Structure 1
Amino acid sequence: MFTGIIEEMGTMRRISRQGQAMILTVGAKKILEDVHLGDSIAVNGVCLTVVQFDESSITVDVMPETFRKTSLQKLHVGESVNLERAMLAGGRFGGHIVQGHVDSTGVITSRHQEENAVVFQVEPTELSILKYMIPHGSITIDGISLTLVQVTEQRLTVSIIPHTLAQTVLQHKKAGDEVNLEADVLGKYMEKLLTHRTSGNGESSRSRGTLTESFLAENGFI
């Protein structure tokens, strides 16, 4: 689990592709302080496993499902990426619950300055994830925990403070660029609980009825 607080920007050193499988080597500093084989590292918001490391880089595998679902397939050698180690149990929870499981990519449709902030509008490739987003709720963009300013049927809007812009790859992003999106997991679990019933034999089935007070009482919500 991650919090969406980027620890550093790494640099893509090597990219090896074989079909839809990839091996990425990323130059880094801070995340190498206590790295071990098998550690989880979020690379642009994608949870990946360290399979090799040395004094200046980590190497991770990207499987075909991750290749298809994320923007990692479009990385180039020399490009900067956001990096975050998995959250320590005793650490500060500065962002929100981030799994590193990308729900959809998105395309930046606009970027403009608003006094000290930079406002980004993003249109998800899979518009269905917008149902998990609310104004002033949380969204993860390329691994960064951000607060939603506005949500419509087509796109989401976030406002970036100077510090976040300077410390992440968003400083390089412009209209037309692709980013990784992860919706707040709490909304996804809530939808699952509210739209599925358990039959007498223990099998789960999707509820076709409307959300009612009796349904909430039957399922322990009230």
Structure 2
Amino acid sequence: MFTGIIEAQAEVVGIRDEHTNRHFTLRCPFTHELKIDQSVAHNGVCLTVVAIEGDTYTVTAIAETLSRTNLGKLKQGDKVNLERCLLAHSRYDGHIVQGHVDQVGICEEVRDQQGSWLFRFRYQPQAAGNITVEKGSICVNGISLTVVESGEDYFSVAIIPYTYDFTNLHTVKPGDQVNLEFDIIGKYVARLLKK
């Protein structure tokens, strides 16, 4: 389990396809603290560390992951938001994030508000109950954010300068895909109400 509080960014230094799998080799500030079999969220996608060599480590994404997320569009040199899994004695600063991306969204607008940025994202409404609510939580590329405006198939979020600079949001522009994980509590409530 994760909280959506980004620890660092990793740089993609290698990509290798093997059958339908794609192996990503990355470099990050805490590679020396990782261990094989450890879960790390990459742009909000929970992946397992399968190899460590020097200051780089490798994770593997299967076809299902590549089809549901923006990881399939990564190229060498891209930056990825990272979060290690939550420790039992840690503060819970974000919201409940599973590392299971529901779908991708498309950035429609980035508006500079002279001290913050407003991002608007559109997504395909799903039967699974992927919804947002104003002032509720949404996970975008692994980042726990608060919804400003909520529509049937879109939402907006306001970004403070620290989050804009410290995560890969500063590279997101209109037309780009982002990974979305909708609030798990909202998904359960929506499912129960359907019954």
Unaligned residue ranges in structure 2 (runs of 5+): none
TM-score by length of 2: 0.95
Task: Please give the residue correspondences for 1:1-222 in structure 2 after superposition, counting only pairs within 5 Å.
Answer: 1-30=1-30, 32-124=31-123, 126-128=124-126, 131-195=130-194, 207=195
Between the aligned partners of 1:131 and 1:47, the Cα distance in structure 2 is: 19
The verdict on how the C-alpha distance between 1:59 and 1:131 changes in structure 2, with shifts beyond 3 A counting, is closer
In structure 1, C-alpha distance between the alignment counterparts of 2:103 and 2:170, rounded to whole Å: 21
Query: How big is the alpha-carbon RMSD for the aligned residues of Structure 1 and Structure 2?
Result: 1.4
- Give the partner amino acid of 1:48: L
The residue aligned with 1:220 is none
Say if 1:13 and 1:27, in contact at 8 Å, map to a contact too: yes
Task: Give the Cα separation in 2 of the matches to 1:146 and 1:65.
Answer: 25
Cα deviations across residues 112-136 of structure 1 (Å, max 9, x unaligned)? 1112101100011x22377521000
Structure of greater relative contact order (alpha carbons < 8 Å, 6+ residues apart): 2
Indicate conservation of the 8 Å contact 2:130/2:182, yes or no: no
Contact 1:130 1:155 in 2 (8 A): no
Structure ID, larger Rg: 1
Give the distance between the partners of 1:131 and 1:81, measured in 2 at CA.
24
| Residues in 2 aligned to 1:84 and 1:51: alpha-carbon distance in whole angstroms | 16
CA deviations over 1:128-175 (Å, ceiling 9, x no partner): 377521000000000000000001123110010000011000011111
- Asked if structure 1 preserves the Cα contact closer than 8 Å seen for 2:132 and 2:151, the reply is no
In the superposition, the TM-score normalised over structure 1's length comes to: 0.83
Runs of 4+ in 1 over 4 A off after TM superposition: none
Partner of 1:215: none
How far, CA to CA, are the matches of 1:162 and 1:79 in structure 2?
21
Unaligned runs of 5+ in 1: 196-206, 208-222
- The answer as to whether partners of 1:3 and 1:96 remain within 8 angstroms in 2 is yes
**Sequence identity of aligned pairs in percent?**
40
**How many Å apart are 1:34 and its aligned residue?**
2.7
